[in-house]
Amino acid sequence: MALDQEQNFQAKIDAEDKIEPKDWMPEAYRKNLIRQISQHAHSEVIGMQPEGNWITRAPSLRRKAVLLAKVQDEGGHGLYLYSTAETLGITREEMINALQDGSAKYASIFNYPAQTWADVGAIGWLVDGAAIVNQVSLQRTSYGPYSRSMVRICKEESFHQRQGYELMLTLCRGSEAQKAMAQDALNRFYWPSLMMFGPHDSESAHSASSMKWKIKRETNDYLRQKFIDQTAPQIEFLGLEHPDKNLIWNEERGHFEGSELDWDEFKRVIHGDGHCNRQRVQHHIKAHEEGAWVREALVRYKQKKKLKAA
Amino acid sequence: MAEVNKQAIQDYATRLGDDAVVIGHRVSEWCSKGPFLEEDLALQNVALDFIGRARMFYSYAAELANDGRKEDDFAYMRDHREYQNLLLMELPRGDFAYTMVRQLLVDVFNLYYLEQLQQSSDETLSAIAGKAIKETRYHLRRSSEWVLRLGLGTEESKKRAQTALDDLWGFTHEMFDLDALEQQLADAGIGVDNTSLQAAWTTQVKSILEEATLIPPEDEWKVKGGREGYHTEFLGQMLNEMQCVHRANPGLEW
Ligand SMILES: [Fe+2]
Ligand SMILES: [Fe+2]
């Protein structure tokens, strides 16, 4: 029986049919998805912090409004993805607990500090940009609800990327100081953006089963290459120096080739040595704890209202 | 005469921009700090509305000034002594009860204020009011619902809401004052006669408070001065933060 179910399930996947919440699925598939989708949701929510930290200092009212709307979108993505994960039989509360006790992860890029106003541009352009490359491929993921949320989210992410790039372009066409700020932001965010695609395929812990079940559709290295290729001309158009001094165009392969990434640094930051690891989680916990009495009041109010109606 | 009026309208639009940008900034400080995600996003929505409103008022002021200044020059290049927002807007965000009770007091005021401003003989002010009043109706639905939830929720939420109300009430009186500028514009059918709003505001606020079992404080305590640029210590700090990047490299595009 179980074998039939498993064969049936894999046949569906192979035929590019979507798996829906009520369909039978292997426990490992469910777990894998919960891990990936909740991590994605947490990334959206934790990602509100580095940029949110600039809302009160945005240098024009237009930028302030755009940034507010962007951060709001990210929170909306978080909500949407939490609901997507909930279709797999986990509650938002459980996911938030896992984020706060450290057993669930979020994208390590948000452990890097947003130090200057140009970082807001670099994050929109590079971080949202890298996220899109990944998420476009996930539009074809095998789990129906996740696939549909990616379609919806990608539209907003490309908007964010264009706004981030436009912010960088404005700085690059501005004063020397503004351009230097843009260069500095690019230098700091370029490498961690490339690391957003995860370790090399040969090193990736989750890749094999994720590919077989079509949770992932493209490999880490393939997606990273795509991002390197799309970013190089964008850097040139800004008139900035490419942070990778070894970058060359390989005519034969039709791709850019650059330096090997500093994977030791990648691991150090993931495992807690980033500037903001503790800060991000503590910020989340603090807001959550400070909001406890509000959530209690809401529950109590609803109970009282129900009692009154009955 | 026409010139005097133009300057008066410019000053009037500027102070309405000040009100909007200051309260919008305060609400925006909630970003990523809300009690739960949905509410975090709703607060950002409200902040966005106020920032948008400030931009409309400042753009109009800039248009009237016609001296090359733009909306951001009004927001970023004026000191707190030049800002003429109501004091209520600039007080720090406080806890969630403080923010929500303040929003209620401000939203009810804005509702009646904008209703009248919509009748302004100045077409631009009237149009801005028309757009803003729709947002304000939505803001008020939220803030009045929240005040009910807090007042009728738990003992703690009720206590926090009452404390907020006690701390904020003294700052509400200046909403109904009329200085020479406002008098002049009210007489000309351009501006709002704030004094005429007090009765309706008081009735509506008190009825919501009563339903929420909160007690309206006594009226003896009154703090005023926002329209003259006589602010609390908080506004200077707020503007320091808000204006720091813009002013570090003045005169540039961002
Ligand atoms: Fe997002
Ligand atoms: Fe985004």
- Give pLDDT tens digits for B218-251: 988 999 999 999 999 999 999 999 999 999 988 8
Look up the pTM and report it. Answer: 0.96
Q: Which amino acid is at A126?
A: L
DSSP state, residue A18? P
- Give pLDDT tens digits for A70-94: 999 999 999 999 999 999 999 999 9
- Residue B4: predicted pLDDT: 57
Q: Could you tell me if A175 and A88 are in contact, meaning their C-beta atoms sit under 8 angstroms apart?
A: no
Closest CA to B243 of B62, B13, B77: B77
Distance CA A168, CA A63 (A): 12
Give mean pLDDT, residues B57-75. Answer: 97
Residues of B in contact with A75 (CB under 8 A): 32, 37, 40-41, 44
Q: Which residues 149-208 of chain A have a CB within 8 Å of chain B?
A: 170-171, 173-175, 177-178
Cross-chain Cβ contact A291/B249 below 8 Å: no
Cross-chain Cβ contact B37/A45 below 8 Å: yes
Q: Is the pLDDT of residue B133 over 50?
A: yes
Distance CA A95, CA A82 (A): 8
- Give pLDDT tens digits for A131-182: 999 999 999 999 999 999 999 999 999 999 999 999 999 999 999 999 999 9
DSSP state, residue A19? B
Distance CA B54, CA B75 (A): 9
Confidence of residue B1 (pLDDT cuts 50, 70, 90): very low
Cross-chain Cβ contact A296/B157 below 8 Å: yes
DSSP state, residue A109? G
Residues of A in contact with B246 (CB under 8 A): 59-60
Q: Which residues surround ligand 2, an ion (CB under 5 A)?
A: A 128, 157, 160
Q: Is the pLDDT of residue A292 over 70?
A: yes
Backbone angles phi, psi at A114, to 5 degrees: -90, 95
Q: What is the largest CA-CA distance in chain A?
A: 75
Give mean pLDDT, residues B124-132. Answer: 98
- Residue A5: predicted pLDDT: 92
Closest residue in chain B to residue A291, using alpha carbons only: B35
- Residue A207: predicted pLDDT: 74
Q: Domain B3-217+227-248 falls in which CATH fold?
A: Ferritin (1.20.1260)
Distance CA A214, CA A223 (A): 15
Give percent above pLDDT 70 in chain B: 98
Cross-chain Cβ contact B44/A56 below 8 Å: no
- Ligand at shortest distance from the CA of A45: 1
Q: Is the pLDDT of residue A1 over 60?
A: no
Q: Is the pLDDT of residue B60 over 70?
A: yes
Q: Is the pLDDT of residue A209 over 90?
A: no
- Residue B148: predicted pLDDT: 98
Residues of A in contact with B47 (CB under 8 A): 68
Distance B59 CA to ligand 1 centre (A): 31
Confidence of residue B131 (pLDDT cuts 50, 70, 90): very high
A261 backbone φψ class: left, alpha, beta (φ>0; ψ -120 to 50): beta
Q: Which residues 35-54 of chain A have a CB within 8 Å of chain B?
A: 45, 48-49, 52
Q: Where are the domains of chain B?
A: 3-217+227-248
Query: Is the CB of B38 inside 8 Å of chain A's CB atoms?
Result: yes
- Residue A69: predicted pLDDT: 98
Strand locations in B103-250, DSSP E? none
Q: Is the pLDDT of residue A119 over 60?
A: yes
Give mean pLDDT, residues A174-193. Answer: 97
Residues of B in contact with A172 (CB under 8 A): none
Confidence of residue A202 (pLDDT cuts 50, 70, 90): confident
